[in-house]
Each structure stands twice: as C-alpha cells, then as structure tokens.
Amino acid sequence: MKKIEIGIVGGAGYTGGELVRLLIQHEKVKISYVTSRKFVGKSIFKRHPNLRGFTDLKFISPDDISKVDVIFLCLPHGVTASKIKEFSSLSNIVIDLSSDFRLKSKEDYNSYYNYEHPHHELLNEFIYGMPELHRNMLKESSKIAVPGCTATGAILPLAPIVENFKINKIIIDAKVGSSASGASPTDGSHHPERHGVVRCFKPSNHRHLAEMYQELKNMDGKINFSPHAVEMVRGIQSTIHVFFDQKYNEKDIWRTMIQKYRDEPFIRFVREKSGGYRFPEPKIVMGTNMCDIGFEKDPSTERLILISAIDNLVKGASGQAVQCMNIAIGIEEPLGLTQLGFHP
C-alpha cells in the first residue's frame, strides 16, 4: 500500500520536531519534507537531536514545498492565516497547529489576539481538532485546527461536567512547562530568569480562554483561567475548581465521565487512595498522547476538584494533530501514538 505523503512546514520548532518524532514511527505515512527557512540544508537531527539515527531528512526552504497528501503547519501565530490559500492548494488535508483557525468568531481574534483576521471567511471551514468532542466532524475533514495546549488540558476534563450539570463557576489553575512557550528564546525564558520560578504570567484573559468558551457551551462569564509557568520542560497539570448550582455526588461524576470517555483511546482515569500518584501527574504522561483525568469532591464546600495532566507537545499539540490526521484519512486512530510514558 502506498504510504501517505506528509509535509511539515515550520519544522524547526518544538511542535514540528514532535511531529517528525511521531510520524517516523507511524507505519502508514512517509515524511516528504520538513521546512525551515533558518536551517535550510541542515539535517533535521541537528535541530532535534533525539532524531539522530532515525531520519536522514534535511530541512528544505518553505519556498520549495510541493503537493502532499497531508500538510502540517507549525508556523508562528498569524503567519499561517496570511498564507492559507497557498497551503490549501498543496494538499487535500491541512492541519494547522497555530491558533489562526481555532476560533469561529473573528471578533474573538480582535479581542483575544488583538489582530484583524485576514481570512475570517475561512474560520468555519476548520474543524476544532479535539477528537473526543468532534470525532464525527473530523472524519473526512480537509481543514483542521489543532487546539491550544492549556485549552486541551481544561476542556477535556470539563466537557462532560458542563454538558451534564448546572455550573455556577469554574476556576482553572494550570501549571505549565517551559516548552509551551515555544523554541524561540526571550528575556523571560533565559535560564537564570526562568529556572526556579512559579510565574503567574497571565492571571486573566489568556488567549486560550477563547477556545474554552467556544467549546464549553453556555459558560459565558463563568470560566476563570490562570496559568503558571513552573519548573518543568514538558507538561501541563490543570487543577480545576468547579462550583455547582445543584447537588451531586462523586458517583454522578464517575457515571458522567465513564459515559463520555469509556471508549476513548487517549483518556485515562486516575484516582488512587494512596501512593505518590493519586491524581494525574504530568511526569507520567510525558512523551505520550494521553490525557489523564482525576477528581474529588470537597465534602465541606461541595466544590469539585478536577485534575488533568497532558504533555503539552503531544496531546497538547503534535500528538493530537496526528490523532486528527488518522481520523480524517480513515486509518486506525492510535497509529503512531502508542508510546508509553516513563517511570520514574
């Protein structure tokens, strides 16, 4: 069987590197090219050293890309939108890992991203690439927008709760690894500045909040999101406090979660009564496409505490992108994504 040909545009960054790592282990695809304007002609493993010995691909110029079956776009936010027509002409399936087509409302781009979307007429053509919520729409889709990493970590545990209970208020406290900031260094990411911090870098109005409101219906004004940069390279742990407008018990939450996610290949429930890993832990999902979800009811306040853990570069980006591709082209959903995590 002919392998599916893949193009990766913007392959020098972390999500591009993760795509190469996952796709060279995928038995039904072949990477035709990976682009980087800065590293043209250099072997990919020079930029992504974990790939040494597993690929002899070299970066090509983005000016030299050609037709492929699936094109992944790992470009900075704002760049994809300006060139989307060119990319769309080169592939039947376009999978964008930037934020440029995640939102359906052009007004949201004005308010959350502070820019006028140059192709807002295309926003509704993109499917929000979260298989657990939109699997049927992803089947045979041709344009997919991969969700933001902290949005993924919040939406997945919250979706069943929001769909089935009356919610008064949600507070999301996310702990985020440094790779979520991307591969380009900044003053804030310089090692002496970044190391050891617990940095609340955007206490309110974070851009990913727009995705949460879009996907979690009827929650207008009820979602509060404060991410913190912590001492990890990979991973996001979201501790989510949910306040209800109704009575509930833990077994109601279990039934709701099981009903929604029982057959999902990349969702696990984690709830232990003892030991060091009682609830989801980013360290355990590192390198995997898993989203681990746990919860507990606070008996004194009726608050529900949801906890999720993902690898921001896998389930929060490139892994979810590959999962969407598998669904869109109609092959087995876990292909290329069955890596196990580490312990310890």
Partner 1 sequence: MGECPVCGSEIELEDGVRENEIIDCETCGAELEVITLNPLTFEEAPEEQEDWGE
Q: Cβ of residue 319: shortest distance to partner 1, in angstroms? A: 23
**Residue 107 contacts partner 1 per CB under 8 A:** no
Residue 252: strand, helix, or coil: helix
* Residue of 99, 37, 95, 103 lying closest to 70 (CA atoms): 95
Binder of partner 1 out of 19, 133, 176, 270 (CB under 8 A)? 270
**Residue 298 contacts partner 1 per CB under 8 A:** no
Q: Is the dihedral of CA 280, 98, 232, 215 positive or negative?
A: negative
Q: Cβ of residue 339: shortest distance to partner 1, in angstroms? A: 21
**Which residue, 179 or 288, is less far from partner 1 as judged by CB?**
288
- Which tokens is 323 given? 């999962």
**Which residue, 5 or 296, is less far from partner 1 as judged by CB?**
296
**Which residue, 102 or 297, is less far from partner 1 as judged by CB?**
297
**Which residue, 247 or 273, is less far from partner 1 as judged by CB?**
273
Residue of 149, 200, 291, 324 with catalytic role: 149
Q: In what order do the strands lie in the sheet with 68-73?
A: 59-60, 29-35, 4-9, 68-73, 91-96, 143-145, 127-128
**Which residue, 195 or 251, is less far from partner 1 as judged by CB?**
251
Strands 167-176 and 223-229: parallel
Interacting positions 215-254 with partner 1 (CB under 8 A): 250-251, 254
**Residue 343 contacts partner 1 per CB under 8 A:** no
- Which tokens is 321 given? 């992108």
Q: Which stretch binds partner 1 (CB under 8 A): 19-27, 65-73, 113-121, 270-278?
A: 270-278
Rounded CA-CA distance 187/50 in Å is 26
- Which tokens is 79 given? 């760049």
Name the burial class of residue 25, with classes exposed (0-12), middle (13-18) and buried (19+) by CB atoms within 10 angstroms of its CB.
middle
Binder of partner 1 out of 85, 195, 247, 273 (CB under 8 A)? 273
**Residue 255 contacts partner 1 per CB under 8 A:** yes
Which residue numbers are catalytic? 149
Q: Which residues contribute to the site for partner 1 (CB under 8 A)?
A: 250-251, 254-255, 258, 262, 269-274
